[in-house]
Amino acid sequence: MLEKKTNEKGSISVLFAFLFVALMLFTSFATDAGMLYYQQLRLKEVGNVIREARLNNETVLQNSTHPAETLERLAKDYAVKNGLRADQVTVDFADLENESTYTHRYYEMNIYLTDTYQYKALSILGFREQKIRVTIHGYGDVENSAGVWKP
């Protein structure tokens, strides 16, 4: 009769080592994806803070001789207070001239926040960085019976 040889000592250890490495790689990729998503959510939160600051300072925009510059200064100040750099914030402000009157100012604005995420684990596969861009859209309508200052 033939005897069955079971000379496979250590095969479980080798299998465990490969599976452990695969698990660690998957975990690190998931961590990169999670950190990227977290950074995007952080930018959205800062954008919402800037939007709220704009709403709280509506009177300042109403009486401003240059509302676009006022809004950009306000946005950059709040971005810096919340941990971003001033160059990560861009503001587009458009006074809707065809709808504005002596007592009303209608405007449209977009706040763009940008950041860059440096990949950790995905750098193994050649990914180095990912640009993150968040846009906060907004419209405004200010009214004053005494008149809205228009340049």
User: For 17-67, how does the pLDDT look when each residue is reduced to its tens digit (9 = 90+)?
Assistant: 999 999 998 999 999 999 999 999 999 999 999 989 988 887 787 777 788
- Give the total number of structural domains in the chain: 1
| 62 within a domain of the structure (yes/no) | yes
137 inside domain = yes
* Structural domain includes residue 122: yes
pTM of the model: 0.74
Domain for residue 2, yes or no? no
Q: Tens digits of per-residue pLDDT, 75-128?
A: 999 999 999 999 999 999 887 776 666 667 778 889 999 999 999 888 888 889
pLDDT class of 129 with cuts at 50, 70, 90:
very high
Long-range contacts from 46-52, C-beta under 8 angstroms, 24+ separation: 46/78, 46/79, 46/82, 46/83, 46/84, 46/113, 47/111, 47/113, 47/134, 47/135, 47/136, 48/136, 49/78, 49/82, 50/74, 50/75, 50/78, 50/79, 50/89, 50/111, 50/136, 51/111, 51/136, 51/138
Q: Which domain holds residue 27?
A: 15-143
Tell me which of 33 and 9 has the higher pLDDT: 33
Res. 150: pLDDT tops 70 = no
Residue 5 lies in a domain: no
- Asked if the structure places residue 69 within a domain, the reply is yes
Residue 19 resides in a domain: yes
73 in a domain, yes or no?
Answer: yes
